[in-house]
């Protein structure tokens, strides 16, 4: 499903700025500071189904529902935990998922295969989409390199990102091409194994599809 365009006359939101609190990976989370602001509050009340249909003409009460915590519209193909919040001006749709105590507020759109979880706070005019995620994460710094879990099933070492399987298959070749010493490689291997264990524990070791 496409991202929203300014089909609705822009309205001011009660939040001052766009920000993703918890995790903010470059090119994964879009929080534009320019361009039209798409607001869905009309006179300070909830967006009605008729107003939702102006954006998604096929929307019905059988295909969308209001989230009980916050009142925002959620497409039935998406998932939002009962403990999470989707505010009255936010939308969650496609195959997006919002878990835990995450808060999706103001004019935020969460869609595609995006995942928002933990204590993440997404608000303002943020757009979270594609294979993006916003959550607490895992990062280690060694003597020469840093390692982090940067998406579902993916680990970044320095600026290089691969899935677990790709790192296992290509890691030694990449290390040789980068002139990484045996001692450095041994340290990275320990860091890698720790990251894999963390990902399996939190069930984020499989790349998303889509």
- Kindly tell me if the per-residue pLDDT of 175 is higher than 50: yes
For the segment 79-89, the average pLDDT, to the nearest whole number, is 88
Q: Which residue has the higher pLDDT, 166 or 39?
A: 166
SS3 category, 78? coil
Q: Would you list the DSSP string of 105-156?
A: -TT-EE-TT-EE-TT-EEETT-EE-TT-EES---EEE-SS-EEEEEETTEEE
pLDDT digits (tens, 9 = 90+) for 17-58: 333 333 332 223 333 332 223 334 433 446 888 889 988 999
Is residue 82 within 8 Å of 64, Cβ to Cβ?
no
Quick one: what percent of the chain has pLDDT higher than 70? 70
Indicate whether 164 pLDDT > 90: yes
Write down the pTM of the prediction.
0.52
Alpha-carbon gap, residue 52 to 73, rounded angstroms: 8
More confident residue, 76 or 7: 76
CA atoms of 23 and 152, how far apart (whole Å): 13
């Amino acid at each position: 499903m496409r991202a929203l365009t300014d089909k609705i006359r822009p309205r001011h939101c009660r939040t001052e700025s766009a920000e993703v609190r918890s995790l903010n990976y470059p090119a994964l989370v879009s929080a534009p500071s320019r361009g039209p602001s798409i607001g869905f509050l009309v006179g300070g009340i909830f967006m009605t189904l008729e107003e939702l249909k102006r954006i998604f003409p096929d929307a019905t009460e059988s295909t969308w529902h209001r989230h009980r915590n916050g009142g925002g519209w959620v497409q039935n193909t998406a998932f939002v935990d009962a403990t999470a919040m989707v505010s009255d001006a936010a939308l969650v749709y496609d195959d997006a998922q919002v878990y835990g105590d995450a808060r999706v507020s103001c004019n935020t759109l969460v869609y595609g295969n995006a995942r928002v979880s933990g204590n993440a706070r997404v608000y303002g005019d943020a757009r979270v989409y594609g294979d993006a995620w916003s959550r607490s994460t895992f990062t280690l710094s060694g003597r020469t390199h840093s390692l982090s879990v940067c998406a579902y099933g993916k680990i970044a070492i320095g600026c290089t990102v691969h899935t677990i399987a790709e790192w296992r298959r290509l890691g030694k070749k990449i290390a040789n091409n980068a002139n990484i010493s045996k001692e450095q490689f041994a340290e990275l291997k320990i860091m890698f194994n720790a990251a894999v264990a963390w990902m399996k524990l939190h069930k984020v070791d499989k790349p998303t599809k889509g």
